[in-house]
Structure 1
Amino acid sequence: MTRAEHCVVACAETWRDNGEVLASPMGTIPSVGARLARLTFSPDLLLTDGEALLTRPGGAVEGWLPYRRHLAMVSGGRRHVMMGASQLDRHGNQNISCIGDWERPARQLLGVRGAPVNTLNNPVSYWIPRHSPRVFVERVDMVCGVGYDRAAAAGPSATRYHSIPRVVSDLGVFDFATPDRTMRLASLHPGVTVERVLEATGFPLTVPDAVPYTRDPTPEELRLIREVIDPDGLRDREVGAGAR
């Protein structure tokens, strides 16, 4: 099995036990993961076609979700998003807007988009296909998605629904299950070492004494990934041929 397939399973686990919420995966591997979760251990998940239709894995339409209803779900917390990040710091602050000083940025990115509302209203996890010190930084150049430190500083109105359950990269899985709510290495993908993760991370990372490996896909999960959800192998393009 490939690294991409371990990443798919790690992303799928993000929605385990979420119940009837809207899964909003952004990226190929999160999308494959959400559909895998729906077909296996999280059958109550709601998935969209990216527009206004609620669909089953495979494309069968089972409902309609107009934009106004979508916004109501966001404000009510009935959604779990998996976003990307151009920068992510140890507290979970995310940047997708610009690189460099705000007054004269070196690079313009997507813009803030819906990241602040997402992080303050419903669970938000992150998918990073290329784990490097350029992404995992000590301090983000601009805060778009709100991390644990800034949510705490803003008070109960920000922390009430704030949650970052999981960060998945091509090297491992991370969470914030530490006393100060900073990032912790939760599992390594098979073939990856703790030393490699630390070298690719631009801030101090909490590492438990014993770090497990990300679980293997089951035979049925592999069949679903390879034959039903992603028969064209798009997942491997997102992680890269070198991560096997």
Structure 2
Amino acid sequence: MTEVTGASLAAVTRAEYCVIACAEAWRDAGEILASPMGLIPSVGARLARLTFSPDLLLTDGEAMLVRPDGTVEGWLPYRQHLALVTGGRRHVMMGASQIDRFGNQNISCIGDWERPTRQLLGVRGAPVNTLNNPTSYWVPKHSRRVFVEKVDMVCGVGYDRAAAHADTSRFHRIPRVVSDLGVFDFATPDHSMRLASLHPGVSVEQVRAATGFTLTVPDEVPYTREPTADELRLIREVLDPGDTRSREVGS
């Protein structure tokens, strides 16, 4: 596949870089279930299936396994879904209302748990996801309200808490966090969050200003990779011709 160059490269949007960054979470994943939550992660998972991860399984969110075009190719009853989750053959990309330096995630409430100022989704399956299979995160608007020093309630388990319970968290792994500013991982000695790449047009200073904790920043930070010409065609003409991705992440 050829890379996008010249005039077409200048037209690549921030949302499309986010799609590429999300898709990379499932690169060469093999036959596992991708569970993307959110529009851009869903486009990313379908793009990965059509390109570099052809064995990836996609679900309609209910009981069917589907191809990127929505064609049904298998049945996934709830009991089998639970077996996949507990067996580790799944990589979920969840959202995060709050996330801290060690990857603890909150989607339940803001403020004190007994008297929260805002009620959110609830814990849902976050603890099981983070303890049984790889769990990445997608944040469409990077800010200090989301990237916080300490989450108000732990739903998804971070590296510090997993280390304290190594007997039950041996399968814990957070491959990446993708936001509208860049890509982050935990490839540091203490598993604290690191800036892995910047989306083109974003500076390190912007990321630091929008993050509520001290972020590990390497001396040289690469840019998120460019889409290939074929990937850009698939995003624009096949997977999201209506450009709904730009409603989630602006230019």
User: After TM superposition, is the score higher than 0.5?
Assistant: yes
- Unaligned ranges ≥5, structure 2: 1-11
Q: Secondary structure at the match of 2:88?
A: coil
Q: 1:104, 1:53 → 2: CA distance? A: 39
Residue 176 (1) aligns with residue 189 (2):
no
Q: C-alpha displacement at 1:239, in angstroms?
A: 0.8
User: Which residue among 200, 217, 228 is the counterpart of 2:210?
Assistant: 200
Structure-2-length-normalised TM-score: 0.95
Q: Which residue in the other structure is 2:123 paired with?
A: 112
Please list the CA deviations of residues 110-148 of structure 1 after superposition, one character each: whole Å capped at 9, or x if unmatched. Answer: 000000000000000000000000000000000000000
Please list the CA deviations of residues 142-193 of structure 1 after superposition, one character each: whole Å capped at 9, or x if unmatched. Answer: 00000000000112222x1000000000000000000000000000000000
Q: Secondary structure at the match of 1:47?
A: strand
Q: Which residue in the other structure is 1:154 paired with?
A: 165
Q: C-alpha displacement at 1:195, in angstroms?
A: 0.1
Number of paired residues? 240
Report 1:78-227 matches (<5 A). Answer: 78-158=89-169, 160-227=170-237
Comparing 178-187 with 58-67, greater Cα deviation is found at 58-67
Q: 1:103, 1:24 → 2: CA distance? A: 31
Q: 2:237, 2:166 → 1: CA distance? A: 47
Q: 2:68, 2:114 → 1: CA distance? A: 44
Q: 1:155, 1:70 → 2: CA distance? A: 25
Q: Which residue in the other structure is 1:13 paired with?
A: 24
Please list the CA deviations of residues 201-223 of structure 1 after superposition, one character each: whole Å capped at 9, or x if unmatched. Answer: 00000000000000111000000
Q: 1:211, 1:156 → 2: CA distance? A: 35
Q: 2:207, 2:134 → 1: CA distance? A: 25
Q: Which residue in the other structure is 1:30 paired with?
A: 41
Q: 1:156, 1:7 → 2: CA distance? A: 35
Q: Could you tell me which amino acid in structure 1 is paired with residue 196 of structure 2?
A: A
Please list the CA deviations of residues 28-59 of structure 1 after superposition, one character each: whole Å capped at 9, or x if unmatched. Answer: 00000000000000000000111111111111
Q: Which residue in the other structure is 1:50 paired with?
A: 61
Q: Which residue in the other structure is 1:60 paired with?
A: 71
Q: Secondary structure at the match of 2:57?
A: coil
Structure-1-length-normalised TM-score: 0.98
User: Which residue among 76, 82, 91 is the counterpart of 1:71?
Assistant: 82
Q: 1:8, 1:208 → 2: CA distance? A: 24
RMSD: 0.5
Q: Could you tell me which amino acid in structure 1 is paired with residue 168 of structure 2?
A: S
Q: Which residue in the other structure is 2:5 paired with?
A: none
Q: C-alpha displacement at 1:6, in angstroms?
A: 0.2
Tell me which stretches of 4 or more aligned residues in structure 1 moved more than 6 Å. none
